[in-house]
Amino acid sequence: MTIAAVGSRAPDFSTRNQHGEEIRLSQYAGHPVVLVFYPYAFSGVCTSELTALRDRPELLASAQFLAISCDPLFTLRAYADHQELGFSLLTDFWPHGAIASSYGVFDAERGCARRGTFVIDAAGVIRWSVLNAMPEARNPDDYAEALSALTRRK
């Protein structure tokens, strides 16, 4: 499976967030977006990553953050409420892993998204990405640097 390439147009998708609201990537045209694919709600590494984002309001204000897993909608709602996550958690439950697959980060053997991140510019082009190993947490400072590079490009 090939990961979506930097410089390519970000694959559009439509799904629901933890509140049941329909979310389409293209609705954020004109604004930077960060897609944060993570394996499982309520798991240790994923929780540490997403709460680290929660605790960085200045970073969350710099782009639209969309966290995506293959968990069902109701699991995401319970998880967001429990962790007090104020950004959108998107379900990739059905068709199972379709969004993660379109970005090349679906692990078919485990049935979950791999730990992939994509920074998308206001024009819908992938400008930065990283793929971390399952047990390896991402550093929010990396997102901040990638988003800062977007503003320097203008």
Is residue 46 part of the annotated active site? The answer reads yes
Residues near 116 by beta carbon (within 8 Å), at least 6 away in sequence: 3, 35, 37, 100, 103, 104, 105, 129, 130, 131, 132
Catalytic residue, chosen from 4, 36, 46, 80, is: 46
Residues belonging to the active site: 46
